[in-house]
A and B are shown apart, each in its own frame.
Chain A
Amino acid sequence: MEFVIVFLVFAGALWLAWRRSPRLAVYAFAAGSMLAVTLYLHHATDALPLSF
């Protein structure tokens, strides 16, 4: 679910950038980036066993 939120935040940032709301777009970009960094720190030590 966390990745759904991150993708939606960045999609929102892209849309805001297109809609000429650069300040809001940058805030959304920053929020998405902080979420992504948090997810990276959480998942970075996953073992990733091969399943295929």
Chain B
Amino acid sequence: MTIYIEAIVIGILTGSVYALMSAGLTLIFGVMEIINIAQGALVVLGAYLSYALVQHFHIDLFLGLLLTMPAMFVLGVLLEWFFIRPLKRDRTMFSLLVTYAIALIIEGALILAFSSTNIKLNAWYVNTSLPVGDFYLPYIYLFSFGLSVILLTGLYVLMYHTKFGTSLRASMQNRTAAELIGINVERVSAITFGIGVALTAAGGMAFGTTMAFNPGSSYDLISRLLVIIVLGGMGSLRGALIGSLALLVVQDVTSVAWSPIWASTVFYILLVLLLVFRPQGIFGQLEGRKQ
């Protein structure tokens, strides 16, 4: 029984990290109607930035976020400016390919800069654990859970208690109408993209401490993130949260109850089953006709 409780607890703790990464993805989708395939590669880039800060400047992982998150925010705004904004028609499809190309370039640049060997982020809290009842919880899981809670709360406050958040939600609901009432949707889009990318810096750091990674880790990540946001309903922040926790809990419980090699398969199959009955995901809205 304990192992199941442990699996569920660890699933929730690590799920919060995925919530960070997928929140960015689902926000970007909600506002701009584009799927940012580069999100996985950006997570890996975030992890490598933290790694570089530790290696060269001996800056603590969590403190380093104060540098990497603004840097990634600027990168996000620039990416939106140069590569997403010029796409005028058929944005959904072209943005898929453009962001995929960005992902390839990031992956290639990371291989050139860091080679393709596996690395892992390290700090004192990565290797020590806190005894809780019958099992041990690594401190890093607790710390990254705390980080995720803080950042997601910040995101919530930004979205629901600021003027920018109101414009953001208006742009999510109806882009054209938001433009008509005088919201600068392009500016909102750029900032949203920046926020989504900045969140990957934090997500990447937490990811890199719990798992060994290399520049090619992005494929596995992006598939999981995409599945999470489809499960939750695309464009729904709440859905991304629930989807992340569900993914990690189901995976951890499956690997304890059955076998680790089937962990993600079970989740994907659950997703497909869900879509048979509820094609729009848990919190998604049915797609209306788009004229």
A and B interact physically: no
